Chain A
Amino acid sequence: MVDRYAVRSLLTAVVMTLAVAASAQTTSPALPRTPDGKPDFSGIWQVMNTAAWDIQDHSAQSGVPAGIGVVVGNEIPYKPEALAKKRRNYDDRATADPETKCYLPGVPRVMYMPYPFQIFQKPGQMTMLFEYVHATRYIYTDGTQHPDGHIDWWMGDSRGRWEGDTLVVDVVDFNEDTWFDRAGNFHSDELHLVERFTALDRDHITYEVTVEDSKVFTRPWRMSMILYRHREPNLQLLEYDCFGFDNAFHPPVPQSQ
């Protein structure tokens, strides 16, 4: 004797379970996770935008692709005297841009330069390795605070924490010698960043950064872009040590007697 009510209840339960599972899958489609349950950002990443040239909207020039900017709302709220400096920087960019001297490019600039970077992830630390001048970032996610400052660092001091599935990184301790791009956008040593890394799916990360610097800007402003995972088999970081390029100054290694 079959209990119809029981069968119907069972079917309902199965259908509901499937529906819940399906909805869970659409909100979080097979996001890779580390053993401690955090989104796994391990891999080789790179932007596909033109922020390296200019973080704002810009037309094409010789050697510069046109681009839709990454600044949210496109306007950067410079103080009047800072805007004047930005314009001077732009005019002098061929020699004044710190990138032309191969210096460590600072953050966030290193994140959107046209070179790949690699993320390694442990519970207490994210290690970011960059092909450009073999720069590194160590993002401590072990609950530690910034060291007593101020410290003048090219790449700043990064302390991260997880808000759900978003890695939030607070960065301070910058010097005033790096720019945001090749168009002269700049900051002071009071630069304070809050970066947010959110997995869009396994191969894309939404990267947002809030920029605060009361010496240069009238209010905080934001950039937003996407990091793309490299999926070429056997891809690896190479080297872009531009300070070692000038072969005229290298020791002439004799190749034979």
Chain B
Amino acid sequence: MTRLLAGIVIGLVLADAVSAQQAPPPPPKAAPPPGWIDPRNPPKEDSAFTPARTPDGQPNFEGEWAQASDIITYSIEDPELERAEHTAISGQRPMVGRPIIDPIDGKIPYQPWAAKYAAFLHEQHRKPSSVKYLDPVSRGFQEGIPRINYQGTFVIQQFPGTVLMTYDYHHTYRVIPLDGRPHIGKDIKLWMGDSRGRWEGNTLVVDVANNNDQTWLQIVGGFHSDVFHVVERWTLTAPDHIVYLATIDDAKVYSRPWTLRVDFRRQKVEEQWESAIWEGNKTPEIVSGGGEK
């Protein structure tokens, strides 16, 4: 599994470097996969739906979930160029998910200076001049919120006073206390942030603070500062469907708060086997020509 995942990452980066020299062909027309949900034009929800309850009275979200919005971590912003480029380099069908629903153009609303740095990182992703400019996840670091939620499958377990999320990718976990305790002190920064949850009716609202400034929202950049703050809203809209809204603000980098939407579909519950990432990751050595990791 380690080798497989590392191989995928290496393949992406190397293929990126090759494709920079040639114009990408137009994307093949592919039908959306069955069950796909367009985050920007979602189906009407059944407002009468009432979820089952856990023994302690929480709406029951337990089970295994995966995003059904066809979002790839390569890029969450551009539905044309990025998809065409990704198709050219990877041979995969174009992904059509556009998770950013506000602002309406689907782009991260950077402040002008930050847009320049984002463009620099975007240019760097094809052939990074240093491992510093390689996607942090490709380097083996944790994803951060909200990126981990569109990375792959995960399991939700609920306990009195706590919601637990364990992700298949990189054995990442989140412990979300529901007891109203305050965030940890502001001098503690975490890759996965500090989560505090509460129930608003059938919606789990999670406030994520204490984020470090080292995670990206996508492979092509998507940076933020250490005042990055996320409010997640997890709503069970049908027995097998979660609607997820993440409202993101960062007064140092973005011109306004922005929101992305991801739809999750229930999966068959399976054992979560080991996903060692750091241990087998050779991407940084290859990018840097065998030097720094």
Contact = CB atoms under 8 A, between A and B. Distances in A.
Contact of B175 (A155, A237, A251): A237
A254 B279 contact: no
A122 B157 contact: yes
Contact of A250 (B132, B159, B170): B132
Contacts of A252: 132
Contacts, number: 93
Given A120-B159, A244-B142, A251 B132 contact: yes
B132 A257 contact: no
A138 B271 CA distance: 8
Given A35-B55, A256-B252, A250 B113 contact: no
Interface residues of A, number: 36
Interface residues of B, number: 46
Interface string A128-161: 0100011110101000000000000111000000
Contacts of B50: none
A123 B133 CA distance: 45
Interface in B173-195: 173, 175, 177, 181, 184, 188, 190-192
A102 B213 CA distance: 21
A237 B252 CA distance: 28
A136 B155 CA distance: 13
B92 to A, nearest CB: 27
A234 interface: yes
Contact of B278 (A133, A236, A249, A255): A133
A135 B171 contact: yes
- Residue among B114, B157, B274 with the highest chain A CB neighbour number at 10 A: B274
Q: Which 9 A-B pairs have the closest CB atoms?
A: A257-B113, A136-B171, A253-B213, A153-B274, A244-B141, A243-B278, A251-B132, A103-B279, A239-B190
Interface of A: 35, 42, 102-104, 118, 120, 122, 127, 129, 133-136, 138, 140, 153-155, 234, 236-239, 241, 243-244, 249-257
Interface of B: 55, 111-114, 117, 121, 131-133, 136, 140-142, 157, 159, 162, 164, 166, 170-173, 175, 177, 181, 184, 188, 190-192, 213-214, 223-226, 252, 271-274, 276, 278-279, 292
24 contacts: A120-B159, A120-B162, A120-B164, A127-B166, A129-B173, A136-B166, A153-B276, A154-B279, A234-B181, A237-B175, A238-B188, A238-B190, A239-B191, A241-B142, A241-B191, A243-B278, A244-B142, A244-B191, A249-B131, A251-B132, A253-B214, A254-B113, A255-B252, A257-B111
